[in-house]
């Protein structure tokens, strides 16, 4: 059945990564094809899917995993796939830019066109998630990409904990929010499980902004060897798709490979968003404290 104007099908992929680039990209392509077979127009692959989540440990040799944006082989392969299937694919990768390094996503439109780059803005630094060793803070700002099927706001993993990022993207016209992710157990505290907190925060972004939201996380146990001992994370999956009131409409478990899909009528959601009044009643003149680190409400 032909979809009406504004109707889009989104997909979230979830899979375990090996530490072999070719194998992981093959898996990503297989699941993108599966999502397309389920009618998906926009398919989200998880964060840094080319290999293990190497940021568990600080190793000098891991910088060799980075590649320049221009001519990146995985991006080029996904461009070809997007063009063949007529689907939109955000592609996460470890970017080398001269002496800078970024956790980045290239947005590939349904005709294979590269619409541009987003570089992760918020960079975490904690046990098992030592990204500040590898990544410069992103300098692109929060961006919205106008794809064939929707205006997309896209941010990466730790960005998803910040309501300011979600609001900034929707203020720029984002109709759907996408978050490629790598999150799981905490090496320093095996009793800490953030999965429910993680979901609720993003459900809040969807509900507060009245937009659908797609989060794609990895699964599996990954061990990184270092000279000071090994680090291990068990990624908890739970990839999900939320509707515009924050309701979860599709969710994966914590162990199995999965392809989630959900259909949304963006025109109906737009009407609801406008009539709900949360954007009409915003008071940017009162939000100066958000532009400071210490919360002071001083003139800027």
Q: Is 120 a catalytic residue?
A: yes
Q: Which of 50, 131, 143, 157 is catalytic?
A: 157
Q: Is 288 a catalytic residue?
A: no
Q: Is 55 a catalytic residue?
A: no
Q: Which of 29, 47, 96, 131 is catalytic?
A: 47
Q: Which of 17, 50, 55, 120 is catalytic?
A: 120
3-state secondary structure the chain: CCCCCCEEEEEEEECECCCCHHHHHHHHHHHHHHHHHCCCCEEECCCCCCCCCHHHCCCHHHHHHCECCCCCHHHHHHHHHHHHHCCEEEEEEEEEECCEEEEEEEEECCCCCEEEEEECCCCCEECCEEHHHCCCCCCCCCCEEECCCCEEEECCHHHHHCHHHHHHHHHCCCCEEEEECCCECECCECCCCCHHHHHHHHHHHHHHHCCCEEEECCEEEEEECCCCCCEEEEEECCCEEECCCCCEEEECCCCCCEEEEEEEEHHHHHHHHHHHCCCCCCCHHHCHHHHCCCCCCCCC
Kindly list the catalytic residues. Answer: 47, 120, 157
């Amino acid at each position: 059945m032909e979809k009406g104007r504004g109707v889009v099908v989104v997909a979230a992929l979830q899979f375990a990564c090996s530490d072999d680039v070719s194998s992981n990209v093959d898996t990503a392509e297989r699941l993108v094809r599966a999502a397309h077979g389920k009618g998906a127009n926009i398919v989200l692959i998880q964060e840094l899917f080319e290999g293990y989540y190497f940021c568990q440990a600080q190793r000098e040799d891991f910088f060799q995993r980075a590649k320049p944006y221009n001519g990146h082989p995985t991006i080029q392969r996904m461009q070809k796939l997007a063009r063949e299937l007529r689907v939109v694919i955000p592609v996460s990768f470890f970017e080398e830019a001269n002496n800078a390094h970024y956790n980045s996503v290239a947005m590939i439109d349904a005709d294979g066109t590269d619409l541009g780059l987003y570089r992760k803005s918020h960079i975490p630094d904690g046990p098992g998630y030592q990204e500040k060793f590898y990544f410069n803070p992103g300098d692109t700002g929060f961006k919205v990409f106008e794809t064939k099927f929707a205006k997309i706001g896209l941010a990466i993993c730790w960005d998803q904990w910040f309501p300011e990022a979600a609001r900034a993207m929707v203020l720029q016209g984002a109709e759907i929010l996408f978050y490629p992710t790598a999150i799981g157990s905490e090496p320093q505290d095996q009793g800490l499980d953030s999965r429910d907190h993680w979901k609720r925060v993003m459900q809040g972004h969807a509900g507060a902004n009245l937009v659908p939201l797609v989060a794609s996380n990895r699964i599996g146990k990954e061990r990184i060897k270092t000279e000071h001992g090994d680090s291990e994370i068990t990624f908890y999956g739970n990839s999900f798709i939320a509707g515009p009131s924050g309701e979860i409409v599709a969710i994966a478990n914590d162990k199995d490979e999965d392809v989630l899909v959900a259909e949304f009528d963006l025109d109906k959601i737009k009407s609801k968003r406008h009539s709900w009044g949360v954007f009409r009643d915003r008071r940017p003149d009162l939000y100066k404290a958000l532009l400071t680190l210490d919360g002071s409400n001083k003139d800027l």
